[in-house]
Structure 1
Amino acid sequence: MGHSACGCPGSMARVIERTETNESAPTAKAASELRQWPVQLHLVPPTAPWFQDSDILIAADCVAFALGSFHSDLLKGKALAIACPKLDDTAPYVEKLANIFRSNEVKSITIAIMEVPCCRGLDMMVRQALTLSGKEIELTTAVIGINGERRS
């Protein structure tokens, strides 16, 4: 298949085939692991109390929809900031993230992105911000496939 009109292969329309299962629905709803509001990177204040002494998850917007176990696998116990490197105005993101890292004692940073090329921009911004902050903080990247599987 060719590229979409915008040129990004990650924007290419596709159908994700799912096999229906006969398993009965769970009797309990999964609990939300969200610990703060707001979550959008443009809106979170760099000195928000939830960033102090925290593990931070910086996730691309689509990750929570693609990864069915997002709350239990990635979000649990972490402060959250979400962003879309393709559609957001990302100009202020590197400096804002650097301010978050500088202003708080951050234990670790997890970056969660989709496997599509445009999502790599978020990983690059966070790494740039960490360098700019002058701090050494444990950093890992989780890559999620379009089909919802964790690639790394």
Structure 2
Amino acid sequence: MKNLACGCPGSMVRTVEKTETAAAPEGRLQSELRQWPTQLHLVPPSAPWLQNAHLLIAADCAPFAYAEYHRDFIKGRTLVNACPKLDDTSNYVEKLAAILRQNDIQSVTVTIMEVPCCRGLAMMAQQAVAASGKDIPLEIAVIGIDGQRRS
């Protein structure tokens, strides 16, 4: 238990061993972010960039763990982010459902970390899609703490 922060097994202190690579990437990557704000608490359901969007709901840690996050997830999507462990999530299901009801959302992708605490964000997204009354495709991508995509 001494390696657990906040009593959550997903926050156990770990070191991720990586092998050094000699080749550096060519050129600088460009940000794929196309709107602001991104934090779910700050995003109004009426934001114009939500209309006809492919919605990406990101757990706060996922973009830090997954090196190609902008290219593989943000590109072509509208981002909102949240932390199911540290945020006040009491209205997240209703807020997400309002976003889905008020806009012609084309799809929802949720990126979460493999830790148990993150599963709540996927469940909130599933509940919001159901509460919206719409048939919206939903994909959940799980990122490992080693930065690899699990699903």
Aligned residues: CA RMSD: 1.2
Q: Secondary structure at the match of 1:42?
A: helix
Partner of residue 94, structure 2: 95
Alpha-carbon offset, residue 108 of structure 1: 0.3
Question: Which residue type is aligned with residue 88 of structure 2?
Answer: D
Partner of residue 4, structure 1: 4
Alpha-carbon offset, residue 3 of structure 1: 5.9
Q: Aligned partners of 1:27, 1:63: CA distance in 2, in Å?
A: 24
Partner of residue 74, structure 2: 75
Partner of residue 13, structure 1: 13
Partner of residue 123, structure 2: 124
Alpha-carbon offset, residue 77 of structure 1: 0.5
Q: Aligned partners of 2:12, 2:124: CA distance in 1, in Å?
A: 24
Q: Secondary structure at the match of 1:20?
A: coil
Q: Which runs of 5+ in 2 are unaligned?
A: none
Q: Aligned partners of 1:26, 1:17: CA distance in 2, in Å?
A: 20
Alpha-carbon offset, residue 22 of structure 1: 1.3
Following superposition of structure 1 onto structure 2, how do residues 1-152 of structure 1 map, counting pairs within 5 Å?
4-23=4-23, 25-152=24-151
Q: Secondary structure at the match of 1:58?
A: strand
Say which is worse superposed, 77-86 or 13-22, in terms of deviation.
13-22
1:71-105 Cα distance to aligned partner (Å, 9 max, x none): 00111000000000000000010110000000000
Once the two structures are aligned, what percentage of the paired residues are identical?
A: 62
Q: Aligned partners of 1:90, 1:105: CA distance in 2, in Å?
A: 24
Task: Please report the TM-score for the alignment, with normalisation by the length of structure 2.
Answer: 0.96
Alpha-carbon offset, residue 109 of structure 1: 0.3
Matched length: 151
The structure 1 segments of at least 4 consecutive aligned residues displaced by more than 3 Å after TM superposition are none
Q: Aligned partners of 1:21, 1:137: CA distance in 2, in Å?
A: 41
Do the aligned partners of residues 5 and 107 (structure 1) sit closer, same or farther apart at CA in structure 2, a change above 3 Å counting? closer
Q: Aligned partners of 2:110, 2:22: CA distance in 1, in Å?
A: 34
Q: Which runs of 5+ in 1 are unaligned?
A: none
